């Protein structure tokens, strides 16, 4: 009897598998689906912001947008699998700015030219437009922008007896990295002389990533890739890069910058009062508030410049962009939605919820800057100092090799050797794209 | 007396060593467990210098547990995972035990080659076949369904291997006596072989459970919709672009570790028995 019951249970379970397989066709994103209109589908980690904008869009047009949420770190890998198998699962593609070129070279994105007028395209910040344009064709419209800003812990500076008149610094006259390092050394000597409290002088939000680390070399006049985009030889092994790398490695060895702390942990260190200065993105203001800090606890100023390179300040820029999948069955509706989300009303709904900086100066509203006052600096930087990351279809390989190099440098690797090996790796990847 | 002291000293030394090894082994479990009861700020504030409060919270809080269940609907991901596993375990056992029965008691053309082919399946990493598998499941319209999660997991080479090893110990005379009494293969399988295979059934069930509970890549590709998303994929949501919610990760990891532990412990002796009888031959 008992055995019969087990057999029946097994049979029922198998049947359930079959039934659940047949009963649900996943999404119905292909065509139709929504009552009286089409349904578009997107995979995103900005699900709340998209949901709000999509709700309004459906009311106005009858086109429904189905939002599938995933973690930030999974978007790239998941889309790679979906798109390389030419699946029509998603109509809208979220691309991290620098990945646009790679997606285009693999045939994943549809040109957006017919969904944007010239005037609309020109309204985007030039650096963002550059990132979304490949071979003179516009493929990915920027949802927003980012920028890099210096934050400081007011409490730690007070405890260390250091007073700085932060109001003296402007976009034209910033604190220098050299001055900042002196302040950091003084503060740490006072707060944690024997190093037992684990307090760092300066932390880098996205440490060892090209988004932030390259800016050190860029701020000394170094470029990210050759002008024709075909090599990094003579570029990332230039004197400007060598100087920037040597400066950084020296300060890691002195303990001013951290070693062994991963990218996002540096943020946690700042929130927990474990570092005096943190160089991170403008939207980090809201994360500081989320971590129960108030403006009594922290302040912010323009990203520092290097002495003698005051006119060459390079700040971070670029953010997620939106494109239309080349395999979508609803390209026209998707293209119109991209316009709505990046140029149209949808972007006004998206920005305050996502925390991103605007994709154009005209969108910096009082509402946004009241919610995040750091955006005032971001606006200045977007107009004056924003430095775009390398535009190349081999960005993934470029980014991986350079991130490894920065981490090796942080761990004390020989500078010449690290550079040589990185140039070799990146040029080999670029070579494959140059040939094809 | 001196000899007695030496003996006691030696014993104490061994116990001390065992305690140290125990602490080292339990640390990866204790640290996340205790950290799940504190805020992220408290966690980082007490990271250095190393002291008692680097591990033990100062202010105990349920905040992380409340947040993952209330704000992130972690309960529904647990439910999805349990449903997936409840479908996979019996399905795998039925398919693999039937296949193993055929391999163990019947002769047919290409038997050895086919068995070798099945064995190969558990030597190929999931990452290597993720792309073609996604294409296939997608073309069947099974993405974001339980069937999409379950079907590719049903034929498991390792479980098949375990069953074949175990069945090969069953005397063929038993099956022959069934035949003499007029019983068919189903009677032999369901009345003789399966009842003798309790340890291997439990072992196979536990192996499948642990593998599926920890599986990440396939659920990430095949089950992204809220209604079928599983725990491993959901935990990744606590790592955002500019923030890692460590407390949430620790709380979710603790909950998702407790369930397998409670299921595993009562069946532990069968698991060991099954592994030794199914795998190692004397």
- What does the pLDDT read at residue B2? 66
Which residues does chain B have within 8 Å of residue A188's beta carbon, measured at their own beta carbons? none
Q: Which residue of B has its CA nearest to A96?
A: B241
- What does the pLDDT read at residue B277? 64
Q: Which residue of A has its CA nearest to B127?
A: A81
Which residues does chain A have within 8 Å of residue B201's beta carbon, measured at their own beta carbons? none
Q: Output the CA torsion A329→A330→A331→A332 (10° steps).
A: 150
- What does the pLDDT read at residue B276? 66
A291–B41 C-beta distance less than 8 A: yes
- What does the pLDDT read at residue B152? 94
- What does the pLDDT read at residue B48? 79
Q: Which two tokens stand for residue B250?
A: 């620790």
B142–A14 C-beta distance less than 8 A: no
A71–B242 C-beta distance less than 8 A: no
Sign of the CA dihedral A191, A195, A201, A202?
Answer: negative
Task: Name the CATH code of domain A34-146+318-375 (choices 3.50.50.60, 3.40.190.10, 3.30.2320.50, 3.10.520.10).
Answer: 3.40.190.10
- What does the pLDDT read at residue A239? 97
Which residues does chain A have within 8 Å of residue B45's beta carbon, measured at their own beta carbons? 272-274
| Contact assessment for residue A202 and residue A279, using Cβ atoms and an 8 Å cutoff | yes
Task: Name the CATH code of domain B70-278 (choices 1.10.3720.10, 1.10.579.10, 3.30.420.80, 3.40.50.1220).
Answer: 1.10.3720.10
Do the first three CATH levels of A34-146+318-375 and A148-316+391-435 match, i.e. the same topology? yes
Place of tokens 């467990």: B33
Architecture of the domain whose range is A148-316+391-435: 3-Layer(aba) Sandwich (3.40)
- What does the pLDDT read at residue A17? 43
Q: Which helix (H) or strand (E) is B6 found in, with range?
A: helix B2-35
- What does the pLDDT read at residue A35? 45
- What does the pLDDT read at residue A36? 52
Alpha-carbon distance of A42 to B143, in angstroms, equals 15
Specify the pairing of strand A320-325 against strand A141-142.
antiparallel
Q: Which two tokens stand for residue A426?
A: 């990146």
Alpha-carbon distance of A99 to A391, in angstroms, equals 8
A26–B141 C-beta distance less than 8 A: yes
- What does the pLDDT read at residue B280? 44
Q: What is the DSSP string of B117-151?
A: HHHHHTTS-HHHHHHHHHHHHHHTT-TTSHHHHHH
Per-10-residue mean pLDDT, chain A, length 436? 45 44 40 64 96 96 95 92 94 94 95 96 93 94 97 98 97 97 97 92 96 98 95 97 98 94 88 95 92 95 97 96 97 97 96 92 90 95 94 94 97 97 97 80
Per-10-residue mean pLDDT, chain B, length 282? 78 94 92 95 88 92 96 94 96 95 92 90 87 94 95 92 90 87 90 89 91 94 94 91 90 92 81 63 40
Who contacts B50 (Cβ-Cβ below 8 Å, separation ≥6)? none
Alpha-carbon distance of B7 to B157, in angstroms, equals 51
Alpha-carbon distance of B214 to B144, in angstroms, equals 18
- What does the pLDDT read at residue A171? 96
The residue ranges of every structural domain in chain A are 34-146+318-375, 148-316+391-435
A26–B143 C-beta distance less than 8 A: yes
Closest CA to B216 of B202, B193, B232, B196: B232
In this complex, the residue of B44, B138, B224 whose CB is nearest that of residue A70 is: B224
Global ipTM = 0.81
A82–B134 C-beta distance less than 8 A: yes
The residue ranges of every structural domain in chain B are 2-66, 70-278
Who contacts A197 (Cβ-Cβ below 8 Å, separation ≥6)? A191, A274, B48, B49
In this complex, the residue of B93, B190, B237 whose CB is nearest that of residue A71 is: B237
């Amino acid at each position: 009897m008992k055995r019969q019951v087990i057999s029946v249970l097994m049979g029922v379970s198998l049947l359930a598998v079959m039934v659940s397989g047949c009963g649900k066709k996943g999404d119905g994103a292909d065509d139709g689906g929504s009552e009286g209109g089409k349904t578009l589908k997107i995979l995103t980690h900005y699900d709340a912001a998209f949901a709000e904008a999509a709700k309004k869009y459906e009311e106005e047009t009858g086109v429904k947008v189905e939002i599938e949420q995933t973690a930030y770190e999974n978007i790239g890998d998941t889309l790679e699998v979906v798109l390389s198998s030419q699946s029509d699962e998603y109509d809208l593609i979220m691309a991290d700015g620098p990945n646009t070129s790679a997606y285009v070279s693999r045939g994943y994105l549809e040109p957006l030219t017919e969904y944007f007028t010239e005037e609309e395209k020109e309204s985007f910040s030039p650096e963002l437009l550059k990132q979304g344009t490949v071979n003179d064709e516009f493929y990915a419209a920027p949802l927003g922008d980012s920028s890099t800003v210096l934050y400081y812990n007011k409490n730690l500076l007070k405890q260390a007896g250091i007073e700085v008149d932060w109001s003296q610094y402007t976009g034209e006259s910033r604190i220098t990295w050299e001055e900042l390092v002196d302040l950091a050394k003084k503060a740490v000597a006072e707060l944690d002389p024997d190093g037992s409290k684990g307090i760092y002088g300066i932390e880098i939000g996205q440490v060892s990533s090209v988004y932030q680390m390259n800016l050190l070399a860029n701020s000394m006049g170094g470029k990210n890739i050759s002008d024709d985009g075909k090599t990094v030889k003579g570029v990332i092994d230039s004197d400007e890069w060598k100087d920037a790398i040597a400066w950084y490695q020296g300060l890691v060895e002195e303990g001013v910058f951290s070693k062994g702390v991963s990218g996002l942990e540096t943020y946690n260190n700042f929130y927990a009062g474990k570092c005096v200065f943190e160089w991170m993105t403008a939207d980090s203001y809201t994360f500081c508030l989320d971590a129960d800090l108030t403006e009594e606890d922290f302040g912010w100023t323009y990203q520092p410049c290097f002495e003698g390179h005051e006119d060459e300040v390079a700040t971070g820029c670029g953010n997620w962009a939106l494109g239309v999948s080349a395999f979508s069955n609803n390209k026209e509706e998707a293209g119109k939605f991209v316009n709505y989300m990046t140029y149209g009303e949808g972007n006004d709904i998206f920005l305050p919820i996502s925390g991103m900086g605007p994709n154009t100066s005209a969108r910096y509203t009082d509402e946004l800057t009241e919610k995040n006052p750091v955006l005032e600096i971001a606006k200045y930087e977007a107009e004056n100092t924003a430095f775009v990351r390398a535009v190349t279809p081999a960005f993934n390989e470029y980014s991986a090799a350079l991130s490894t190099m920065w981490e090796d440098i942080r761990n004390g690797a020989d500078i010449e050797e690290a550079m040589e090996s990185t140039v070799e790796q990146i040029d080999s990847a670029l070579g494959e794209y140059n040939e094809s | 007396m001196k000899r007695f002291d030496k003996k006691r000293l030696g014993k104490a030394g061994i116990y001390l060593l065992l305690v140290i090894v125990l602490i080292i082994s339990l640390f990866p479990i204790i640290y996340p467990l205790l950290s799940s009861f504190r805020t992220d700020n408290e966690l980082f504030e007490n990271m250095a210098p190393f002291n008692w409060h680097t591990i033990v919270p100062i202010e105990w809080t349920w905040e992380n547990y409340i947040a993952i269940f209330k704000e992130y609907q972690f309960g529904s991901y647990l439910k999805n995972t349990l449903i997936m596993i409840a479908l996979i375990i019996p399905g795998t056992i039925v398919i693999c035990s039937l296949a193993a029965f055929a391999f163990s008691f019947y002769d047919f053309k290409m038997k050895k080659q086919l068995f070798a082919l099945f064995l190969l399946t558990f030597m190929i990493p999931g990452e290597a076949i993720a792309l073609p598998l996604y294409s296939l499941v997608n073309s069947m319209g099974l993405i974001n369904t339980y069937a999409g999660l379950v079907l590719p997991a049903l034929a498991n080479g390792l479980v098949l291997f375990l069953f074949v090893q175990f069945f090969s110990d069953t005397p063929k005379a038993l099956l022959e006596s069934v035949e003499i009494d007029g019983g068919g293969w189903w009677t032999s399988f369901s009345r003789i072989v399966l009842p003798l295979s309790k340890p291997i059934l439990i072992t196979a069930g536990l192996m499948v459970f642990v593998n599926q509970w920890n599986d990440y890549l396939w659920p990430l590709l095949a089950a992204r919709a809220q209604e079928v998303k599983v725990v491993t994929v959901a935990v990744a949501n606590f790592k955002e672009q500019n923030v890692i919610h460590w407390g949430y990760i620790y709380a979710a990891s603790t909950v998702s570790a407790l369930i397998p532990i409670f299921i595993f412990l009562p069946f532990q002796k069968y698991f060991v028995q099954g592994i030794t009888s199914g795998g190692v031959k004397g």
